[in-house]
Structure 1
Amino acid sequence: MGSIAPRVLILGGTSEARALAAELVAREVPVTSSLAGRVAKPRLPQGDIRVGGFGGPDGLARWLADHDIGAVVDATHPFARRISASAATATASAGVPVLRLERPGWQPGDCDDWHWADTLADAARLLPRLGTRALLTTGRQGLAEFAGLDMWLLARCVDPPDEADGPLPARLEVTLSRGPYRVADEAELLRRHRIDVLVTKDSGGDMTAAKLHAARDASIPVIVVRRPARPDMPHSADVKSAVRWVVDRTKR
């Protein structure tokens, strides 16, 4: 009988991270998934789970050595820059192979009215020129960037904002929900709240793309925040190829 495969660390609570964990557990590859702990009731992946930070790149490098990690997959959200930078530095220091698993970004269609912004602050500056009632789907931690706007805003979040997230816009309503979403439901949300502009991050994927289809059908402009630059590392755009990468590096 062969020896047990080295343990794999999956960073992130994305749908891709959960799918990868399930595939590896089914192949009897030991897996630990690390969640940031920013969502109160996250969807939990299969395998072992840890919650919280590592204490920067040095702390992560020590954790990799202490737990005999054979490979790391950075499957964090496309906008989670800090942990990706730590993963790149820590894996290089520890000599552990690392892969970035990231879903492709969204692309506008011929009938879309998209306006790209480099940051949330840029999106906030652009917003008053495009509408008067906005749906914000950029997460609770970025709401402070819109605090100075004198316009009606509906923020959709998984968890409610709190004091640690900074100041909130004065004319803000919050709705709590979690994808996946349907186009018909998104269209009803836009109609019910008389939304005339949508703000989103370029998160990609199918779980939250319905809002883009609903905005297109309603001829509503969309501000799309570009993804931040990522550290240079091997990259996979789908779970299937990530599974192959992991299996190749954890064979015994």
Structure 2
Amino acid sequence: MHLLILGGTTEARRLAEALTGPSAPAGLRVTSSLAGRVAAPRLPAGGEVRVGGFGGPEGLARWLREHRVDALIDATHPFAETISAGAAQAARTVHVPLLVLRRPAWAPVPGDDWHRVSDLPEAAATARRLGRRIFLTTGRMGLAAFAHLHDAWFLVRSVDPPEPPCPPHLEVLLDRGPFTLDGERDLLRRHAVDVLVTKDSGGAATAPKLTAAREAGVPVVLVDRPSLPPGSQVAATVEEAATWARRRS
């Protein structure tokens, strides 16, 4: 059996390692695919790896046929909407079973001051209404939505340097999670942050910023996740996804 994992997340790496380790099913071939948007991606310790796009749903369907893929797991970022839609279309085209691995979304707790929005332009408008020193952790690809805010200062954290257009007043912090609570507390304090803007990515690696914001009384502008393709079969944990794959091997 040949399993293709659309990856780039912690869960995707853990899944590939779980399915290629000592307890892996006999005869299971695992290939992890990374989009190649990060200069130095973290690679899974087991299985084969390919880097780069497929050329849309048609290209992915062709790759699935040519490489005789028997099952497909979409373990991409919760905001990789285009990739997830393309995976669903390609899987239907070639009649390959598809599972979506998605970590649960974050849930507010007492004391949180969350302002949910549907997209980045709405996040920009909401953040500017709430403050002027904005900690932006939405990734390097979406800064254009904030570029018109000339009277606000931004701390932008991303793995790779952001690409223009960018807000005129910003400081870039190149870093990669997981982040600690003490580190996030210090970051908010040192930079006098009065608004945090982030996507509802879920997971533990970047969640400490939410706790630090709650403790400091900093409002959070939270961009809601895009919807999954209709009819998606979803696993919430690596263990669930690994069980799904083993049953098909």
- The verdict on a shared fold, with TM-score over 0.5 as the criterion, is yes
**Equivalent residue for 1:213, pick from 211, 214, 220:** 211
CA distance in 1, matches of 2:195, 2:122: 15
Mapping for residues 90-109 of structure 1, pairs under 5 Å: 90-109=90-109
Name the Cα RMSD after superposition: 0.8
Other structure's SS at 2:70 match: strand
Q: What's the counterpart of residue 152 of structure 2? A: 151
State the TM-score, normalized to the length of structure 1: 0.95
CA distance in 1, matches of 2:243, 2:93: 24
Task: Give the total of aligned pairs.
Answer: 242
Runs of 4+ in 1 over 4 A off after TM superposition: none
Shift of 1:81: 0.6
Shift of 1:110: 1.0
Mapping for residues 140-179 of structure 1, pairs under 5 Å: 140-149=140-149, 150-162=151-163, 166-179=164-177
* Residue 24 (str. 1) matches residue 51 (str. 2): no
CA distance in 1, matches of 2:217, 2:125: 21
Q: Deviations over 1:40-89 (max 9, x none)?
A: 11110121111111111111111001111110000000000111011000
Gaps of 5+ in 1: 1-5
**Equivalent residue for 1:11, pick from 6, 10, 34:** 6
Other structure's SS at 1:247 match: helix
Shift of 1:30: 1.1
Q: What's the counterpart of residue 3 of structure 1? A: none
CA distance in 1, matches of 2:66, 2:93: 14
Q: How much identity, in percent, do the aligned residues show?
A: 57
Mapping for residues 1-252 of structure 1, pairs under 5 Å: 6-26=1-21, 27=24, 28=26, 29-45=28-44, 46-149=46-149, 150-162=151-163, 166-232=164-230, 233-250=232-249
> Aligned partner of 2:165: which letter?
P
Shift of 1:203: 0.2
CA distance in 1, matches of 2:133, 2:234: 38
Shift of 1:187: 0.3
Q: Deviations over 1:127-167 (max 9, x none)?
A: 111111010000000111100012000000000013xxx41
> Aligned partner of 1:186: which letter?
E
Shift of 1:229: 1.1
CA distance in 2, matches of 1:238, 1:192: 36
Other structure's SS at 2:212 match: helix
Q: Deviations over 1:14-58 (max 9, x none)?
A: 000000000110205211100010001111012111111111111
Shift of 1:216: 0.5
> Aligned partner of 1:23: which letter?
A
Shift of 1:227: 0.2
Gaps of 5+ in 2: none
CA distance in 1, matches of 2:51, 2:17: 18
Shift of 1:172: 1.1
Shift of 1:181: 0.5
> Aligned partner of 1:41: which letter?
A
